[in-house]
Amino acid sequence: MDINQTLPQVDLPPNMIHLGLGQPSNHLLPIKELEKAAAHCLSKENSFFLAYGEERGNANFRQTLAEFLTGQYPNPVDPGQLMITNGNSQALDFICTLFARPGDTVLVEEPSYFLALRIFADRKLNLVSIPVDDNGMVTDVLKKKLETLKPSFLYIIPTYHNPASVTLSFKRRQDLVKICAQKDLLVVADEVYHFLNYTDDPPPPMGNWIDKCPLISLGSFSKILAPGLRLGWMHTSPDLIKKMTMSGLIDSGGGFNPFTSEIVNSVISLGFLKANIQRLKNVYHQRIKIFCDQLRIHLPDQAVFKVPQGGYFIWVRLPDNIDTKSFRKAAQKQNVDFHPGALFSHKKGLKNYMRLSFAFYDEEVLAEGARRLGKVISENLS
């Protein structure tokens, strides 16, 4: 078996175990369910979803999605609070077009999702970061920063953070909303991992507070169904949706993904989404156990990490004087790889960290990866 599954964005030597990869295993992509859903939706007489779509997304899909989210969240979601996107990367890009200009300041977390940082860099935005601790973004620091700064928006990954794997506490969520309401600061919450909890439920998603401060909660089918669909949603206030649907891009192209939306509408209606999420949670939970056990066995004591409660990632901290990037080549020589911490810092800090993930490989491969990584780290700490 080719452990690297010959996926399009994964171009690796056959025996390499790249523990940094943040995408699901090929065999976890539910093609049979999509086949049934496509047959279900395309056998209909009504082909409205082949025309230019409603600006905010197909009405019936938003209805189905709102019902699904209402079943998952502590508070009801209304279809009028949803706008369909091509996934969170496109949503972030779109938000940059509408809410920021080159040179504007945007607040991010330290660490933050490295490819969001790249999207912001393409827009020539000026990034300022707020540190993250075990309870997520340190809201006291945010408050302080906002005494002098006037950012265009704040980008946060509140739940099962990428890469830090921490979750913003309920108390901090309330603080964040209060602070941003006072300053009229738009919060862009990337909640892509919200449904992937392996222990207790997380706090309510930030979408819970859309009537309390300017806030867009980004959801996606990439982690709970398939990234190749390029489908997601924004959960936000009707006022912000109205503003966004008036953009030239939407006016010209119509809603973002009407065809795929209708197929995913069938996926949800046929009950496949709920079943798929449960299946993923079972698989990932099992992987975490094995992987963390093996990491504890093979990594030296100076490599510290917490067992993730959800999401995709393990964030490993090494002693302050270590730059994980410095032994990446040595790791690759031993057929193991990781994402060095500095990737996740807009100011190239966090050099002593590395991001690992258990989304892509099966347990056996993860165990072997942990063994190889332990060896490399041990050799480079001594």
| By CB under 8 A, residue 280 contacts its own copies | no
Candidates 70, 124, 199, 282: give the one binding its own copies (CB under 8 A): 124
Beta bridge partners of 235: 82, 217
Nearer to its own copies, 120 or 160 (CB): 120
| By CB under 8 A, residue 35 contacts its own copies | yes
Closest CA to 317 of 166, 108, 162, 164: 164
Beta bridge partners of 190: 218
Cα separation, 167 vs 150, whole angstroms: 26
Cα separation, 23 vs 18, whole angstroms: 11
What is the x/- site pattern for its own copies, positions 93-112, by CB under 8 A?
x---xx--xx----------
Nearer to its own copies, 21 or 177 (CB): 21
Beta bridge partners of 234: 83, 218
Closest CA to 88 of 233, 262, 248: 233
Cα separation, 111 vs 118, whole angstroms: 13
Q: What sign does the dihedral 135-67-71-224 (CA atoms) show?
A: negative
| By CB under 8 A, residue 49 contacts its own copies | yes
| By CB under 8 A, residue 2 contacts its own copies | no
| By CB under 8 A, residue 256 contacts its own copies | yes
Nearer to its own copies, 107 or 213 (CB): 107
DSSP string for residues in 283-340: HHHHHHHHHHHHHHHHS-TT-B----SBSSEEEEE--TT--GGGGHHHHHHTTEE-EE
| By CB under 8 A, residue 229 contacts its own copies | yes
Candidates 71, 199, 249, 364: give the one binding its own copies (CB under 8 A): 249
Contact 216, 236 (CB under 8 A): yes
Candidates 228, 238, 300, 349: give the one binding its own copies (CB under 8 A): 228
Using the rule CB under 8 A, give the single segment among 120-128, 164-172, 332-340, 349-357 that binds its own copies. 120-128
| By CB under 8 A, residue 9 contacts its own copies | yes
| By CB under 8 A, residue 252 contacts its own copies | yes
Nearer to its own copies, 57 or 151 (CB): 57
| By CB under 8 A, residue 29 contacts its own copies | yes
Using the rule CB under 8 A, give the single segment among 67-75, 117-125, 199-207, 331-339 that binds its own copies. 117-125
Closest CA to 132 of 359, 346, 310, 358: 346
Q: Can you read off the two tokens belonging to residue 228?
A: 């190749």
Candidates 257, 265, 266, 352: give the one binding its own copies (CB under 8 A): 257
CA atoms within 13 A on the CB side of 96: 25
Contact 218, 244 (CB under 8 A): no
| By CB under 8 A, residue 251 contacts its own copies | yes
Minimum CB distance to its own copies, residue 296 (Å): 30
What is the x/- site pattern for its own copies, positions 64-93, by CB under 8 A?
----------------------xxxxx-xx
Cα separation, 34 vs 12, whole angstroms: 28
Nearer to its own copies, 26 or 309 (CB): 26
| By CB under 8 A, residue 245 contacts its own copies | no
Contact 336, 17 (CB under 8 A): yes
Q: Which residues bind its own copies (CB under 8 A)?
A: 6-9, 23-24, 26, 29-31, 34-35, 38-39, 42-44, 47-55, 58-59, 86-90, 92-93, 97-98, 101-102, 113, 115-124, 226-230, 247-249, 251-260, 263
